[in-house]
Chains A and B, each alone.
Chain A
Amino acid sequence: MWVQEARLPTAEPELYIPKPARILRVRKLTEYENLFDVAFCDGRLLDHAPGQFVQVSVLGIGECPISICSSPTRPGTFEMCIRRVGSVTNHIHRLGEGDILGIRGPLGHGFDVDELHGKDILIVAGGLGLAPVRSLIQYIIDERSRFGEFHILYGAREPKELLFKNDLTVWRERQDVNLHVTVDRPDEQWRGKAGVVTTLFKELPSLNPSETAAVVVGPPVMFKFVVLEVLSRRIPQSNVYCSLERRMKCGIGKCGHCQANNVYVCIDGPVFKYGQLKAMREAVE
């Protein structure tokens, strides 16, 4: 008989379906950002690389991409730092301990930690950019002997916008982490440094450029100026990493929303080498 049976799907049956995860703890970080500690209801581990993200769902409201801000070296649960800006993120902020979120992922390309092993590391983060690199910072601290010197430069607009204040205290106290923090607009209580994040470069000791990897994550306006500083320290372009943000819907390279020139940020990134981005005019303009 020439009539084919209706074929059953051979495709990934659950590509768009989020898995339930329970919120175990919520901590307020700033007026707009909360830190959510979550775990899959079925006990599955997330098994991610630092720098990857997940699609977070509130059924009935929608879905949005959020970086995983804890390290895979601390498995069991995972953390997300979420700023409330729109429909999905505001809704997530109304949820509390015991509530359920939908999670798809881990998605995208994170940091290739094998490539970073053995190198001195310079991390430069601006604003919410600290969230995606926090997973890498935790990873480096947990595997400290596998990396050389470790510098972190972090800038926020105002003292009240600083994220992860507890972490900053811990990192500052460690002998093997060289942390510098600045704010653009200090207030009366602020005793730290003032100025944009690029002003922190003068706090750095002299680097060994060919042995240093630089990671730059922050808002688009910051990106260009920081990369300039990094390159002027003679760090090779192939050792400079950054994480991009774009509008995302599917997170799996289909819907077209995250495209920046010829790359899909959701599957080719969000972590890129600066060398890759140079050809992507939209990423650096």
Chain B
Amino acid sequence: MLDRIIKQSDFMSVVRELSRQRRLVGPVAREDRYFYEVVDEPSKLDLSFNYCVYGPRAFLFPPTETLFTFDQRDGHFEAKPVLDNQPLAFVGVHPCDINAIRLLDHVFAEDHRDEHYLTRRENTLIVGIDCLKPCTEGVFCADMHGNEAKDGFDVMLYRLHEDNDEVVFGVVFGSKAGREWMLYSRACRTPTAMDEREFEEYQRMKAAAFPRRLKTQFEELPALLDRSYDSLLWEATARRCYSCGSCNLSCPTCYCFNIYDEVDMSLDSGARKREWDGCQLEGFAEVAGEHNFRPKTASRLRHRIYRKAKWILEQTGIPGCVGCARCDRACTAKINSVEIYNQLAEEV
């Protein structure tokens, strides 16, 4: 069910309003590719983008960030948390990325609440834009249920049709904040029965447009992997892997990090920081004394695939992979996760 209908130009004027209150992040064209970036001017957003090279996680969980600053002059021991509560709005995120954020929301809130992530997240408004067809070749988001965002957004836009060269969006509200913001625009109207029929047709077209690429239902992937721990495929695939971690870097759901200290010239004050880390890097599980718990490339590759398709799902109930295939596109060795799953499916 749709909540409202709005034309793109009217939508852009509420975005302009939003930009007075929040930092805007959305798809920006850089030559022939798109990146999520902070924009000072809403017109720089290009909502007709195919896909962004990286997901939006960097704006909620930055590549490096300060956890706290410290000062230990004259025997003091003072440590102060550093939090970022600047209001932010994502405008134009695809369903896969919304689903990736849902997972991050869960892992940073469960067991121990991570204030650094959650403070940013609680001050972030998410405006999604749906995909009517696959954004590029090789994605398997439909297999992973990543191409549909049922929640995790404040507002979701569906590109229903064009009217005088202008896109008309169907709007679904995901939160009170999203509704209040959208209703600020007088130009958004209540959907009619015809709009609803158009939306149903949209859903039908969408379902037909996304191919299934996995031979295994995603609910069955944990069981498939259970049977595949000792497969030779890990070793065989790992022979090509450079352990470069590009797959981790490009993944919208990767959230592993390293913690390190930085000191000022005085050596008395400084900051404890965290930075993205990747389980494919050789030293990820290494401890002092040079013992490495995953010394082999094959064991690290298997670890990544197990995390994405089995362990995270089992631990959180949310898929650890959204099927965006960014890892597959990023890999110089052309290691392909769909191929891995399908080959494993043939083995057993």
Residues of A with Cβ closer than 8 Å to B?
A: 2-4, 6-18, 20, 41, 59-63, 85-86, 89, 100, 102, 220, 245-247, 249-250, 252-257, 259-262, 267, 281-282
Contact = CB atoms under 8 A, between A and B. Distances in A.
- The secondary-structure label for the interface of chain A is loop
Contact of B123 (A7, A246, A253, A257): A7
A257 B256 CA distance: 7
B113 A11 contact: yes
B293 A260 contact: yes
Interface in B68-104: 68, 70, 72, 75, 77, 79, 81, 83, 85-87
A85 B79 CA distance: 26
B200 interface: no
B232 interface: no
Nearest to B286: A247
Contacts of B110: 253
A15 B113 contact: yes
A178 to B, nearest CB: 32
B44 to A, nearest CB: 22
Contacts of B306: 261-262
A9 B111 contact: no
Interface stretch (B130-138, B164-172, B177-185, B336-344): B177-185
Nearest to A12: B113
A11 B110 CA distance: 11
A246 B287 contact: yes
- The secondary-structure label for the interface of chain B is mixed
Interface in B124-182: 125, 177, 180-181
Given A2-B183, A12-B112, A256-B255, 5 more contacts: A6-B85, A9-B85, A10-B122, A17-B81, A60-B268
B113 A256 contact: no
A6 B87 CA distance: 6
B59 interface: no
Interface of B: 21, 67-68, 70, 72, 75, 77, 79, 81, 83, 85-87, 107-116, 118-119, 122-123, 125, 177, 180-181, 183-184, 229, 255-261, 263, 267-268, 270, 272, 274, 277, 279, 284-289, 291, 293-294, 299, 303, 306-307, 310-311, 314-315
B67 A62 contact: no
A6 B85 CA distance: 6
Given A16-B68, A220-B291, A252 B111 contact: yes
B293 A15 contact: no
Given A16-B272, A59-B79, A254 B286 contact: no
A3 B125 CA distance: 10
A261 B222 CA distance: 13
Contacts of B72: 59-60, 100
Contacts of B268: 60
B255 A254 contact: yes
Contacts of B299: 282
Contacts of A41: 77
A40 B126 CA distance: 43
B279 A256 contact: yes
B87 A2 contact: no
11 contacts: A4-B87, A4-B123, A6-B123, A7-B122, A12-B115, A59-B270, A63-B272, A247-B286, A249-B257, A249-B259, A254-B257
A249 B85 contact: no
Contact of B293 (A10, A253, A282): A282
Contacts of B77: 20, 41, 59, 100, 102
Contact of A2 (B180, B256, B257): B180
B181 A255 contact: no
Nearest to A83: B288
A18 B72 CA distance: 13
A36 B128 CA distance: 54
B87 A255 contact: no
A259 B299 CA distance: 13
Contact of B21 (A3, A86, A262): A3
Contacts of B293: 246-247, 260, 282
Nearest to B303: A259
Contacts of B291: 220
Given A59-B270, A62-B261, A261 B114 contact: no
A262 B315 contact: yes
Contacts of B85: 6-9
A15 B256 contact: no
Given A60-B261, A220-B291, A249-B259, A256 B112 contact: no
Contacts of A60: 70, 72, 261, 263, 267-268, 270
Contacts of A85: 288-289
B257 A255 contact: yes
B287 A15 contact: no
A15 B115 contact: yes
B107 to A, nearest CB: 7
A253 B256 contact: no
A86 B116 CA distance: 29
